[in-house]
Every structure is written in C-alpha cells, then in structure tokens.
Structure 1
Amino acid sequence: MVDVRDGRIGRLAWRLPYLAERVGDGAARRVAHLVGRVEGARPGGVQRVALRVSPRLAQQNPGLTKISPDWAVDEVDVRRQGVRLRLDLRDNLQAVLYYAGRYEPATARFLAGELRAGDVFLDVGANIGVHTLGAALRMRDLSSGRVIAFEPADDALAKLQQAAERNGLGELIETVQAALGDSTRDAVLRADSRYDVADTGVRSLVGDGEVVQQVPVVRLDDWSRAHDLTRLDVMKLDVEGSELAVLRGAAHTMTRLRPRAVLVEDKREDQRRELYAVLDRLGYRPHGQLLDHNRLFRRDRSPEPTPQGHAGG
C-alpha cells in the first residue's frame, strides 16, 4: 500500500518547486523533476508521483503535495528509460515519466528480463511507446527480434514513431494504426471526462468524454493471418476496458502461436472474473505478483479447442 502522506522531509522537499515558481513555471517544473526523480527511485515512489500529478486524485490524497498543472507544457525534450522523448505534460502518463524519471518500472524490468533473442513482442495499446521502445532497445542489445505496436490515436502514434526514428529503433518496430477488438469495424475513440482531452493514456472505445477521432478496429486473428504472423512470444495488453474484446478477437492467434507470457491490465474488478476465465480457456493462468496494474499470465496447459466459427482465421 502506497503511503499517501508526506513526512516532514517530503513536505520540505516538495515546497522547493513552489519556491522556484517565483522565478517562473519552467524553474518550478525543473525543480519538481529533481525532487520527483529522487522519490521515483524509491519503492512505491512512481505511484506517489502519479498521485501528485493527477488532478482527479487530488482531493483523495490531501496528505500529498501536488504537482501544479500550471507547470505543464505540451513539448519538453527529455531522456528517460534509455531513450530520448518529446513529452506532453498535460498527459498524466507523460507527466509521471517526466517527474518520476520512469513509468511502470516493474513492467519495464519484467520485459527486459523476459525478452530473448529472436522474440516477437506485441504491444497492444502502445500509446507513446514507453514499453515498445524499451522492448526495441532490448532487441537491439540481443541483435535480433521484432516489436509490433498497435495504437489507434494519431498524436500518440506520431510520438511513438518519432521517438523510434530519433533513437535509431525504427527498423525494429512495426506500428499499426488500429485498435484491436472482436470485430472489424469503425469506432469512435473518446477521452475520459475526468481528464484533459490531451491525456492520451485514458482514451478508449468506451470512454465518456470528447470524441478524439474515428479509428479502425480489427481482430488480431484477421491481422495475423493477413500479415503471415508465424511467431508471437510476449504480448502486452492495455486498452482501457476493451481487454476482453481484444482477447476474443485474438483467440485463434494465441492458440496457434502460444505466446509464453501475456501481460494484461487488471484494474477493473467488474471484468476480472470474465477476463481470467477467457484466458483460462486459452490455457493461461495468473503468475506471480501484479506488475504496475498489469497481471502476468503464463501458459499453464493445453487450451481447449476453439469453438467452430468463434475465433476465425
């Protein structure tokens, strides 16, 4: 459980950015990054920084000094987690990465240790590519491998592609501008009404906020057949509530290629039982601890035969 109170030293440290604000928002932002980076290196520190950043959570955590949204800018060049990035601090994910110095560190460590030479890694809901880029760095170190990233949003995908080229990783990453689901269709990508429309990390096909754009939805089974996908080793799935639909549309691919590890965002109690049941039918069981809200599933047994006409492919 993350401590949501600042101790004496913490209160003093987080006063410094507000003192620097007298010079300007830029000075405050830079000082907050220095303080946040120290905190982010400690156990639970990234989550504490996330609680400081999110306006939605401000009233729930009165014991933590907040990071002012007035310090946010839409472009700041940084180096984080081994790659150069251009971040938009109006987005909570990118703000956490800026201030804490890292994002989802347990997931990043897992991928660095799990990926092997020649692996194919699939990042579904890649956003700006934090884990896509990290996986590509690992593949480059191993001298072989492939990263496939699905991301439907224009702005998030552009950041991913720009970062891939900027860091010399473009040849290792294949990007697909589409959302995955259980049917082929056009859909509306929406913001979350609780956040700024620029917050890319909370957009979804089931959101209740402003319309961001129209996006194509495809099944992984159809895409993998059309693109002759013959190998899939590790899969990460983070699509803000559409995980079940993605898995249903990927059943044949997962049965055929049998990735050894599947990471699925597991924050929704109302979907948890059905999510686990779908993965169980595909031959996957939860394994180990939760990694930054991502549950690790590994192959446990031979999957049940896919019902005729269900998964296609």
Structure 2
Amino acid sequence: MVEGATDAGVHRVALRVSPRLAGSNPGLVKISPRWAATVRVRRQGVRLELDLRDNLQAVLYYAGRYEPAVRRFLRDELRCGDVVLDVGANIGAHALTAAKRLRELGGGRVIAFEPAADSAAKLGAGAARNDVQLEVVPAALGERRELATLRADSRYDEADAGVRSLYGDGEVVQEVPVLRLDDWAREHELDRLDVVKLDIEGAELAALAGASRTIKRLRPRAVLVEDKRPESSGRMHAVLDELGYLPTGAVLDHNAVFRPELTG
C-alpha cells in the first residue's frame, strides 16, 4: 500500500505479481489457482470483492490502486448527466468509480460491456454493494454480430480474468455474443455518449469498426483506447482519425486519449 502511493509504485507492484514475469521474481510466493482467495476490501472509496489469483485484482489489492492515471482522468473529466461507455469493464475498477463519481455530481449513466459471465456477475454485485447505477451488457463489441470464443492467455494463470480475449491462446473460457455498438445503440435508442473507454485485449480495432456510426453521430468528447501493441497502433490512430478524433498526446496507463477534431 505504501509503494502504491505513487504511480511508479503501482507499476512496480504489477511487475512483481504478474505470473508472466514469475522468472524475474524467484522469491515471490504465488497463490495457487486451485485455492479460493477471495477478499472483500474498500479501495479508494469503492467496495470490491477481489480474487487474488487474478493479476489485475491482486494489483488493486496490494497496491491499493489500479491504473491510477485513468481513475484521475475519470474523476476530473466527468460532468453531471454524462453517459460513459466502458468496453471490457472486467470487474468494474473503472466503471464503478465512474458510477460513484456521477452519483456525487448529481447523476449520469454508465454502460459496461463485459462478455465473461463471472466478471459480469461481479459488476452487478459491485453496483449493488456500492449503491450505484450501472448497466451491465454481457457481450463483447466487434465489427459484426456473431458468437465467438473467449479464451485465457497462456502466459498467465487460468484464474486471470483480466487478460482473457477473443484472440487468446489459452483454455476456452466460454462462448460469448459479439455485438456491433452501432446496432446496440440503435436498438436501445442511445442518444448521448460523452466518454468511451475501450480496453479489450487486442479487439479494439474491431470494436471501433462496429461503432463508427455511433461515434460520428454522438461525438463523445473523450475516447480512451488501450494503445500498447506496436503492430496495431498505427492502424488504430488512422481509424480514429477517420472518425474525426485526434490524439491529445496523453497516454494514461497505456490508454491513449483522443478528442474530437475541432471544425470550423
């Protein structure tokens, strides 16, 4: 917790607990995925139930924070009445923070897309535990409506929910529905969108392709997209440029911030 007081300290804690980097931490004792390791805690004003076998949740437990720069951005950016879209919400580290902040500001709406059934259930339970409004959509976003296979990442423990993806090379987690945001927004008459956070382990380009009409129509004032894959970074920037969004230069915990291009 002391080390987690700084952003650099949070990063160091993440490196220590990562199963992928176990060889660099020979003295670190890991909790076996076969054991139950669930704890209930309060972190930065949010009540959470954390599974310490999961890398993301372990960082949040031990460091006290996860992606602190993103959390600060949300607290500073959100305004009363905002509609926030969190794609790849996992257990709600950011979605619950955003919902709590909007409640403090007087109201708003948080829509969380999360395809994994266990994580989606934790989102719902977390909203109830913190008495906040959170709309959970148990689906992934992509460029077409289909069923897809959600897989684990072979570099991590099988309980690591935060690194599951549609492109994983590990064990099959479950079959999940994939939706286009454009279809969902039309069917649910979405008429406002202010902040979008997109972190879906390599599927960001597909999700943006299926969300192009909605982004052009509703013009959210901020789009955060995970940008840590050199092989796809250039294409992602080009797609957002086509949608009328330019990078601000800010990169928050590997999430690049884009704003609408000023016209006229």
In 2 relative to 1, CA 40–66 (structure 1 residues): closer, same or farther, beyond 3 Å? farther
Would you tell me which structure has more strand in proportion to its own residues?
2
User: How far apart are residue 67 of structure 1 and its match?
Assistant: 4.2
**2:59 and 2:110 mapped to 1: Cα distance?**
24
**1:54 and 1:73 mapped to 2: Cα distance?**
18
Residue pair 1:91, 1:198 contacting (<8 A) in 2 also: yes
**2:61 and 2:36 mapped to 1: Cα distance?**
11
**2:105 and 2:219 mapped to 1: Cα distance?**
22
Aligned-pair identity in percent equals: 65
Question: What does residue 22 of structure 1 align with?
Answer: none
Alignment of 1:1-313 (within 5 A): 37-59=1-23, 61=24, 67-70=28-31, 73-169=36-132, 172-301=133-262
Q: Secondary structure at the match of 1:147?
A: strand
Q: Secondary structure at the match of 2:115?
A: coil
In 2 relative to 1, CA 123–43 (structure 1 residues): closer, same or farther, beyond 3 Å? closer
The one-character-per-residue Cα deviations of 1:216-274 (angstroms, maximum 9, x if unpaired) are 00000000000000000000000000000000000000000000000000010000010
Q: Secondary structure at the match of 1:274?
A: helix
**2:120 and 2:7 mapped to 1: Cα distance?**
31
Residue pair 2:7, 2:68 contacting (<8 A) in 1 also: no
Q: Secondary structure at the match of 1:79?
A: strand
Residue pair 2:10, 2:63 contacting (<8 A) in 1 also: yes
Structure with higher RCO (Cα < 8 A, 6+ apart): 2
Residue pair 1:52, 1:66 contacting (<8 A) in 2 also: no
**1:221 and 1:111 mapped to 2: Cα distance?**
24
**1:70 and 1:217 mapped to 2: Cα distance?**
33
User: How far apart are residue 117 of structure 1 and its match?
Assistant: 0.5
In 2 relative to 1, CA 43–83 (structure 1 residues): closer, same or farther, beyond 3 Å? closer
AA matched with 1:225 = R
In 2 relative to 1, CA 299–259 (structure 1 residues): closer, same or farther, beyond 3 Å? same
Q: Secondary structure at the match of 2:193?
A: coil
Structure 1 residue runs of 5 or longer lacking an equivalent are 1-36, 303-313
Residue pair 1:53, 1:68 contacting (<8 A) in 2 also: no
User: How far apart are residue 74 of structure 1 and its match?
Assistant: 2.7
Residue pair 2:40, 2:48 contacting (<8 A) in 1 also: yes
Residue pair 1:285, 1:300 contacting (<8 A) in 2 also: yes
User: How far apart are residue 70 of structure 1 and its match?
Assistant: 3.0
Residue pair 2:31, 2:53 contacting (<8 A) in 1 also: no
AA matched with 1:124 = V
The two structures have a TM-score, normalised by structure 2, of: 0.96
RMSD of aligned Cα (Å):
1.3
The alignment covers a number of residue pairs equal to 261
**2:224 and 2:81 mapped to 1: Cα distance?**
19
**2:19 and 2:149 mapped to 1: Cα distance?**
25
User: How far apart are residue 182 of structure 1 and its match?
Assistant: 0.1
User: How far apart are residue 198 of structure 1 and its match?
Assistant: 1.1
Structure 2 residue runs of 5 or longer lacking an equivalent are none
The one-character-per-residue Cα deviations of 1:100-150 (angstroms, maximum 9, x if unpaired) are 001000000000000000000000000000000000011100111000000
Q: Secondary structure at the match of 1:195?
A: coil
Residue pair 1:189, 1:207 contacting (<8 A) in 2 also: yes
User: How far apart are residue 73 of structure 1 and its match?
Assistant: 4.4
The one-character-per-residue Cα deviations of 1:17-75 (angstroms, maximum 9, x if unpaired) are xxxxxxxxxxxxxxxxxxxx00010240000000010121133x45xx86421387431
